[in-house]
Amino acid sequence: GYLQRLFRQRHLFGIGYMIYTLYGMKTQNDNIGHTAHFGGAIGGILATIIFNYQVVYTSQLMLGVLSITTVFAGLLLYYNKNK
């Protein structure tokens, strides 16, 4: 029902948030600390796994998508700093 729809929307927000963070890290054309958002995303993923370990079994697809996006953001950050 309603709670399941709301839960799905949170996942979409998380994915959209990471895409926006990646875009912001790449373009760096505003005064927003997108690198800090990246750190917050890592902390959020780890906190979710630590405090609600069931998510590893119940939301593998979303956890995988967010984790892959976060790793991609980390690589982007690493290569931008080494230019």
Measure the CA–CA gap between 52 and 42, rounded to whole angstroms: 15
Q: Would you say 29 and 37 are in contact if contact means Cβ atoms under 8 Å apart?
A: no
Q: Name residue 15's amino acid.
A: I
Secondary structure of residue 40 in the 3-state scheme:
helix
The predicted-structure confidence for 16-63, as pLDDT tens digits, reads as follows 777 787 788 777 788 777 777 778 878 888 888 899 888 888 888 878
pTM over 0.75: no
- DSSP secondary structure of 2-24: HHHHHHHHHHHHHHHHHHHHHHH
pLDDT tens-digit profile of 9-18? Answer: 777 777 777 7
- 61-78 residue pLDDT tens: 878 877 887 788 778 777
